[in-house]
Amino acid sequence: MATPLLTAPLLSGQYQDQIADLLHRYRRQVDYIAIRLETVEGSDVLLRGQKIETLSEGISLGGQVRVCHRGGWGFSSFNRLDSLADRLEEAMAAAKLVGDEETILAPIDPVRAQVTLPITGGHPREIALARKKELCEHYGQVLRDYHPDITTISVRYGDSTQQILLMTSEGTHIEQTWSDLELRFSATARRGDLVQTGRETVGSRQGFGDLLDLDRSVQGAAARAVNALNLPVVKGGTYPVVIDPILTGLFVHEAFGHLSEADMAYENPDLLETMSLGRKFGPEDLQIFDGAALEGHRGSYYYDDEGTPATNTQLIRDGVLTGRLHSRETAGKLEESPTGNARCLNYHYPPIVRMTNTWIERGKTPVKDLFSDIQEGVYARNWLGGMTNGEMFTFTAGEAWMIRNGELAEPVRDVTLSGNAFQTLGDIEGIGDDFYWDESGGCGKGGQSGLAVGCGGPSLRLRNVVVGGEAPE
């Protein structure tokens, strides 16, 4: 008889009974066991130029076992349910081999729940692949038609629907389902040797309808590429800078959010000292949060991948560090409360501490007042890319203008913003009364890239930002 593959639905009583039997049989031999089964159904469409290079639908089926014993962890993933007992024994052996301390997991109440994140705008599994291809071709035509200087375009569509079953030796039994969708647009314009690129990404956990009627956003990506061909390069230097909400969201995620992930801190004593709770990092009106308990965003869910209920965590209150993001292990080791931030990309990876939806709260300063009394500065909007290295960051703006005498002046290109995250928080001079959620995020950490997150914030005014560009004369 053929070996049985994992097949949907995962939530059948057959699978649950088999896992329950294994958990009962082995739970007294180690300190903790978690077994997760997962199906992911998805579509992928890639249009490059005028050619569809990828057009596929598929299903990923598998599971993982995590075991902790005397502080040591064992992990194994699999695709065949009949191998589960063997994989469990392998993970137990690995945990016993490396465990030589005390297992410290912050306590949570066992949960029994069956939950589905609501889809309000058309379920991606109910949309034909031909319709998704047609949508990409339409947006590709919008990009190509924008201007003769557009030489290369790409449109990428992806959706995934995850169905997860999590059962643990502590009695947690969670069935959770969600869908995630994303469209990425890119246009490259060329004039002689000068090449400029404009990009736009739109993501959603609410339905296919959020990816329709995006012609204006698509044209915006093409316009940024073409317009930049005519712009002067910014003169490098240190300036007061105003950034828009999209760049604020990128900054709070990349430059500060990762430093708030507690596994970064407890593994690095110097960072733990720097990120001491109670330390002042910014002005008194600065409030920073992360949380999956918000409804309708790309980092939203009901339970994390350890079964901890989603929360909203205030990381900075009135400019002072008041919280950090935890798994059960980091919370236990730092004697704090778990925050529901243990996430894995899929069954191939163990959960690690990850952001969800991260944002700076709206301020009270009218946006126009952020520019007042700036004699010479830079206004930066949107983003093309960026990188962080510990507390240091460098971001490339999608669009930028000089600020002169409190007013927007000439547009410029090749604007990069660099600095130290902690110093930049202290250099916030004004927090705008606007706010925008950016649902384009795909976060990478620990080899797990593309995890859906949300970022948000208001416009910010910052002093003493290093702006890269053309060397001053």
CA distances from 184 to 256, 266, 394 (A): 25, 36, 22
3-class DSSP state of 375: coil
CB 78 within 8 A of CB 270: no
The tokens for 290 are 């992360």
What DSSP string runs through 140-176?
A: HHHHHHS-TTEEEEEEEEEEEEEEEEEEETTS-EEEE
Residue 47 binned pLDDT confidence (cut-offs 50, 70, 90): very high
CA atoms in the 13 A half-sphere facing the CB of 26: 28
* Mean model confidence pLDDT for the chain: 94
pLDDT above 70 coverage of the chain, percent:
96
What DSSP string runs through 342-353?
A: EE-SSTTS--EE
> What is the per-residue pLDDT for 237?
95
Ranking 36-40, 114-118, 252-256, 266-270 by mean pLDDT, the lowest is 266-270
Residue 4 binned pLDDT confidence (cut-offs 50, 70, 90): very low
> What is the per-residue pLDDT for 468?
87
* CA neighbor of 42 nearest in space, from 27, 23, 55: 55
Please give the CATH number for the structural domain made up of 13-228.
3.30.2290.10
**Length, in residues, of the chain:** 473
> What is the per-residue pLDDT for 5?
41
pTM of the model: 0.94
Asked if residue 7 has pLDDT above 50, the reply is no
> What is the per-residue pLDDT for 11?
53
pLDDT per residue as tens digits for the range 330-339: 999 999 999 9
Residue 386 binned pLDDT confidence (cut-offs 50, 70, 90): confident
| Neighbouring residues of 310: CB distance < 8 A, sequence distance ≥ 6 | 291, 292, 293, 300, 301, 302, 303, 304, 340, 356
The tokens for 274 are 């720097």
pLDDT per residue as tens digits for the range 393-438: 999 999 999 999 999 999 999 999 999 999 999 999 999 999 999 9
pLDDT above 90 coverage of the chain, percent:
89
> What is the per-residue pLDDT for 82?
87
> What is the per-residue pLDDT for 3?
36
The tokens for 126 are 């109910």
Query: Exposed (0-12), middle (13-18) or buried (19+): which is 87, by Cβ within 10 Å?
Result: buried
Asked if residue 18 has pLDDT above 50, the reply is yes
C-alpha 161/C-alpha 208 separation (Å) is 12
Cis peptide before 9 (omega within 30 of 0): yes
Rounded mean pLDDT of 279-288?
97
Pairing of the two strands 342-343 and 320-321? unpaired
C-alpha 432/C-alpha 416 separation (Å) is 22
C-alpha 13/C-alpha 324 separation (Å) is 38
**Residue ranges covered by each domain of the chain:** 13-228, 237-468
Torsion angles phi and psi, residue 222, rounded to 5 = -65, -40
The more confident residue out of 82 and 163 is 163
Residue 470 binned pLDDT confidence (cut-offs 50, 70, 90): low
> What is the per-residue pLDDT for 9?
52
> What is the per-residue pLDDT for 441?
76
Calculate ∠ Cα 258-264-266, nearest 5°. 145
What DSSP string runs through 274-336?
A: HT-TT-B-S-TT--EEEES-SSSSTT--SB-TTSPBP-EEEEEETTEE---B--HHHHHHTT-
C-alpha 433/C-alpha 417 separation (Å) is 23
| Neighbouring residues of 78: CB distance < 8 A, sequence distance ≥ 6 | 62, 63, 64, 65, 84, 87
Torsion angles phi and psi, residue 350, rounded to 5 = -75, 155
pLDDT per residue as tens digits for the range 297-331: 999 999 999 999 999 999 999 999 999 999 999 99
pLDDT per residue as tens digits for the range 238-267: 999 999 999 999 999 998 999 999 998 888
> What is the per-residue pLDDT for 377?
98
